[in-house]
Amino acid sequence: MCLAVPAKVLTIEDEGPTRMARVELAGVTQRVSLAYLPDVGPGEYVIVHVGFALQRLDEQEALRSLEIFAELAAATEQLE
């Protein structure tokens, strides 16, 4: 199963021809490629899938999605 998740862009790191960003995914920081979204900046939210930022998200939409993921995780824990 593949999953694309909302992440907040913390910093931008220019490395040669590829712009990279450090993003926060549920409290964990990760580096992702900005090849598909070269004009994204710090503070914005993006959808991340397999190391690439694929789509820009409105902050309210991103926070709601993260809330839903947290609710699903809590429900899964209750089932186990």
Percent helix / strand / coil, the chain, rounded to 5: 25, 45, 30
Question: What pTM value is reported for the model?
Answer: 0.82
Pair of tokens at residue 17: 């021809």
pLDDT tens, position by position, 38-79: 999 999 999 999 999 999 999 999 889 888 888 888 888 787
DSSP state, 43?
T
Number of domains in the chain: 1
Give the whole-angstrom CA distance, residue 3 versus residue 51: 11
- Structural domain span for residue 41: 5-79
Instruction: For residue 66, give the CATH number of its domain.
Output: 2.30.30.140
pLDDT at 1: 52
pLDDT tens, position by position, 9-37: 999 998 778 899 999 987 899 999 999 99
